[in-house]
Structure 1
Amino acid sequence: MCRTVAERTLLAELDAVRPASTAAYAMALPDARAAVLTRLWRGLVHEPLPWITARTTDREGVTLRLADGRSLRGPLSDPWATASSVTGLSLDGALFDHPAELLAALTVPQGGRFAAELDHSVASLALSRTAPRPPTPRASRPWEWEQGVTDGHPYHPGCRSRPGFSAAEQLAYAPEHRPVVSLRLAVVEGAAVSGAWPRELRDGRSVLIPVHPWQAQHVLSGLPLRPGPAAHPLLSLRTLDIGGDTHVKTALSTRLTSTVRDISAYSVTHAVATSDFVERLARRLDGRLHIARTRAAAGAGTADLAAILRESPHIHADSAAGEQVVPVAALPALLDAVEPGERFDRVVEFARLALRVCLDLLDLGVALEAHGQNLLVVIDAEGRALRLVYRDLADIRISPACLARHGIPPPPVSGRLLNDDPATLRRKVLGSLVTGALGPPAGDAATLGAILQAATRDLAPTPALHALRTEPLPAKALTLMRLDPKGDRDLWTRLPNPLKDG
């Protein structure tokens, strides 16, 4: 039953708004604890945490020696596994089966903050798993693919951390619960606008900026707002389908997983120019990659009040031919309906396509952050990968030096999007693509190694491909990042390479 603050709080809130789900929530808690504990143990074993002084591996498990002299013992950890395999860890002989309780007992710097996030991650994950599942792995409406992913990031201990969201708010706004969300509109005079802001979102010289209702209540409560369009939430929760082949990315000033989901003035200024440039560059890839273009962006001079309008990725599918567009995070569920041998072949086909596209684009000078949320795949009626779609260009990197070598003029952007360091660019691509897009459908290191071996066999040689074949693989150090005092910067680790070591 409920043991922690977040578990009890969410249960009481759920009992008040949807009592029929409380039994399912309580039953889901043990597996949710194991799922988050597995992710946490992965981080403890494989990330450069300063208070772990030694790691010893034997045939039965791993022992971590802590700086204070204690030892933490657990099972072998496959950094590429996605199954929930850890049900308990031993800290100097005391058994812990809840990740938040374990982290509190470790008494490490910033541990109290992260323990609260893990507590919320467990409780919210259990709540997510009470959502009804669709009867078929195929989606009849575009947003249904987005709403079928219950567990969030497959490797992040904060996979479902939603601090500040009550049970009622998760049911009302989280995609896995399939709500219809009523957006609000803020009337802004003198707004910063890039692109062609639509006429229906203007009132005279004022711009009407879509606002998420959570943001309206908790951050912009003193601002007069108008009723806005009904929308269907997508994987990132703060991005929604508002119809008319349009998605809107709203500001959401709370921390979900690792990041506060606001929209900076920099993003408003650069979004359209970046999108136009990458879309033109993608045309060089012979139709293998589409960009869900940014149509317009608007902001009120603060990250708490801004929005970006993008075209729906689903316009790039030929529905008459039975094609659909699936976010890569939903691929494992789609592939679960396929025979094992056929599943492997399909993942290899997708991996070959994704690697070729991302490495070719990197060679031209653009490093995509192609994880399971930003990268989508166009599948045919049989579920085979045909083409890719990429959305949300806020975290890509562009190399003017690489562009110049190909005779490509740089885009009219400045600041953090630009980077010429080859190692940083390769890390951006490989660290997101392998960890976020290829690892989850593989499910473990051995399968991932076999997939990478088959998928890279005929690829043209590049420095990034050489690194993929011969070096440890970069991955964001997700646990270290949440224990970092700064809290909002990327930190990295290097994981065993199943292609190199297999």
Structure 2
Amino acid sequence: MDRVDFMPTVFPHVNGGDMDEAADAYAAAPLLNCLLRELAEPTPDPGVHRLRAGGRMLRVRGTRRPVEPEVYTEGAWHRLTHRELVALAAEALRRSTGAANSELPAEMTDSRDVVAALLRARARTSPPEDPYLRSEQSLIMGHPYHPAPKARGGGPVTGWLPYAPEACARFPLELLAVREDAVVEEGDTTPLDALGQAPPGYRLLPAHPWQLDLTGALPAIRDAFADGRLVRVGRTARPLWPTAAIRTLYAPEDDLFVKFSLDVRITNDIRRLWKHDLLKMRATDAATAAAFAAPRGSAAWLSDRGYRTADFAFEELAVLVRDGLRDHLVPGAGPLLAAALVEGFDGNPLDRLTEPSVWWAAYLRQVVPPVLEAFARHGVVVEAHLQNTLVAVDAAGMPVQALFRDAEGVKLLPGVTREAGWERLVYCLIVNHLAELAALLAERFPGADPWPAVRRELRRHGTDLGLPEIADLLASPTLPGKTNLLLRWTGADGADARYVPLPNPLART
């Protein structure tokens, strides 16, 4: 095999270009990232990796977002189509695990087809004018280390596209009303009552129209419509905007987030509001809100204030109320989704940088301390990955505040062991979050090394908070990388995280 040096590659430009080629590239990158992380090892040849099970050689272009996969066959490199890449991944997984799985290859193909549909839809529409909404709706690729980040359950495009944030969707909620004797709720759900008018003896229950399409024919819901426990009362007067999480919507005029069940597998899980999670969510949220009540700096927690549902369809019709933004933002700051900073969108402050060090130091000051303090002082493990973190910037694009969300992903000590909680924190904050931004900055600014600043920030706050784990983290040769490919292939629960050791750039700094 010849030694080849590769230049960094980017996804194809699709304005007037080949959208199928672009969809292949967007879909291949996260699948390749999973393959290289979980099932392969690098060779001395740049861009060339050996699959551990079977020994096949795989060559890619680019590092942060690998594209143009090739396999070495019969003495030559053969370019892989997306379908062939899926087949190669399935073969490697069968060899590695000894197990078969027909579901995941179908999800990988569905994810690619979803991307193609999204690209075509975006070509026919305009993104939101508001930078925050634009950032939430910008994630065409999605999770960079998941084999099928954009799968939508394999259903027809017409079933999901009207509700897709990546297609710049906005739509009204369906308004149902539940007879008062069938209502189940906990916490503060009063914002829901402002979305419409329920008849006497009923309580308003907004519903995501896609979820109602998916579950409306279930016997429990059908029977409730038939006997009058559940009635339709129209739609919201104004549309809501789906965020990157798909089932969480934002009402800008009301400054309200609402989160729904969605009986579709998105990344690792069927995205229902599960009863066991709802029953413990108020306690989890209260503990997290207390941890953020007086943090260092201006960090904020967007509280999951309460939920409302019907006793005959507890999970299917549940709706959760989340704090809006305005009461939490520092004056003059504009929030942006952290994941969008990495993937890119029109208005990304990183596009204005000419030198990254000051911006990066400010970013770390906002994001790192509150997560460490919540763990050290309150035993709260915030799931501070890119999609759960908002970063507010000033008029110059400088980070001035971090906001965190999603009590469903929070872990509390001693509900989980300190060791397991710390591993989860390191994965979410360092591997899933800071490492992605650091890689982007290093790619954009050749010669820049973002990791000394991360090390300094961790060491400073680890000392202040008395966190012994920080010294171990800075000395460890490895970091935990979640194995989403193997997790999906073996059918493990999404919450049952498994990790492989990754080289730790903090230890080399």
- The answer on 1:349 being equivalent to 2:367 is no
1:291, 1:325 → 2: CA distance? 13
> Which amino acid letter does the alignment assign opposite residue 493 of structure 1?
V
Describe the superposition over 1:41-80 as per-residue Cα deviations: whole angstroms up to 9, x where unpaired.
3222322x5xx7xx462233221232xx4524334885xx
- Number of residues paired by the alignment? 448
Q: Map residues 304-383 of structure 1 onto 2, 5 A cutoff.
A: 304-318=316-330, 321-332=331-342, 333=344, 334-341=348-355, 343-364=356-377, 365-383=379-397
CA deviation after TM superposition for structure 1 residue 141, in Å: 6.0
Alignment partner, residue 8 of structure 2? none
- 2:7 matched to which residue of 1? none
Alignment of 1:277-292 (within 5 A): 277-292=287-302
CA distance in 2, matches of 1:295, 1:25: 45
Task: Quote the residue 1:500 is aligned against.
Answer: 507
In the aligned structure 1, how far is the partner of 2:286 from the partner of 2:307?
13
What letter corresponds to residue 474 of structure 1 in structure 2? Answer: P
Structure 1 residues 110, 340: closer, same or farther in 2, change over 3 A? farther
* Residue type of the alignment partner of 2:323: E
Which amino acid in structure 2 is aligned with residue 44 of structure 1?
L
Q: Distance in 2 between matches of 1:147 and 1:263?
A: 22
Aligned match of 1:85 in 30, 48, 67?
A: 67
SS at match of 1:241: strand
Task: Give the counterpart letter for 2:505 in structure 1.
Answer: P
Counterpart position of 2:44: 58
For residues 103 and 152 of structure 2, what CA distance do their matches in structure 1 show? 13
Identity %: 23
Equivalent position amino acid for 2:59 in 1: G
Q: Is the 8 A contact 1:348 1:454 kept in 2?
A: no
Letter in 1 for 2:308: A
Does the 8 A contact of 1:211 with 1:251 survive in 2? no
Partners of 1:91 and 1:188 lie apart in 2 by: 62
TM-score when normalising by structure 1: 0.80
Question: Cα RMSD (Å) of the superposition?
Answer: 3.0
Q: Deviations over 1:303-352 (max 9, x none)?
A: 2221101111343224xx531111211223313422341x3431232123
Q: Structure 2 matches for 1:103-252, cutoff 5 A?
A: 103-106=89-92, 108=94, 109-130=99-120, 131-132=122-123, 140=130, 142-189=132-179, 190-198=182-190, 199-200=193-194, 203-221=199-217, 223=222, 224=225, 225-229=232-236, 230-242=239-251, 243-252=253-262
Task: Verify the 8 A CA contact 1:34 1:97 in the aligned structure 2.
Answer: no
Partner of 1:389 in structure 2?
Answer: 403
SS in 2 for 1:244: coil
- Consecutive unaligned residues of structure 1, counting only runs of 5 or more, are 1-22, 401-417
Give the Cα–Cα distance (whole angstroms) in 1 for the partners of residues 395 and 62 of structure 2: 37
Relative distance call for 1:207 and 1:56 in structure 2 (3 A) is: same
Shift of 1:33: 2.1
User: Could you tell me which residue of structure 2 aligns to residue 408 of structure 1?
Assistant: none
Shift of 1:37: 2.6
User: 1:315 aligns to what SS in structure 2?
Assistant: coil
For residues 195-225 of structure 1, give each alpha carbon's deviation from its aligned partner in whole angstroms, at most 9, with x where no partner exists: 1322446554533322211111122235444
Q: 2:366 corresponds to which letter in structure 1? A: L
Q: Please tell me whether residue 97 in structure 1 is matched to residue 93 in structure 2.
A: no
Question: In the TM superposition, what is the alpha-carbon distance from 1:448 to its structure 2 partner?
Answer: 4.9
Seen in structure 2, the aligned counterparts of structure 1 residues 244 and 135 have a Cα distance that, compared at 3 Å, is closer
Q: Which deviates more, 323-332 or 448-457?
A: 448-457
Partner of residue 459 from structure 1, selected from 448, 451, 461: 461
Return the alpha-carbon distance in structure 2 between the equivalents of residues 422 and 273 of structure 1: 19
User: What is the alpha-carbon distance in structure 1 between the residues aligned to residue 281 and residue 431 of structure 2?
Assistant: 26
Alignment equivalent of 1:73, drawn from 58, 82, 85: 58
- Structure 2 distance, partners of 1:373, 1:122, is 21
Which deviates further from its counterpart, 152-161 or 267-276? 267-276
- For structure 2, the 5+ residue unaligned runs are 1-13, 226-231, 443-447
Distance of aligned partners of 1:212 and 1:285 in 2 relative to their CA distance in 1, 3 Å threshold: same
1:10 match: none
Q: Distance in 2 between matches of 1:207 and 1:91?
A: 64
Q: 2: CA distance between counterparts of 1:126 and 1:396?
A: 34
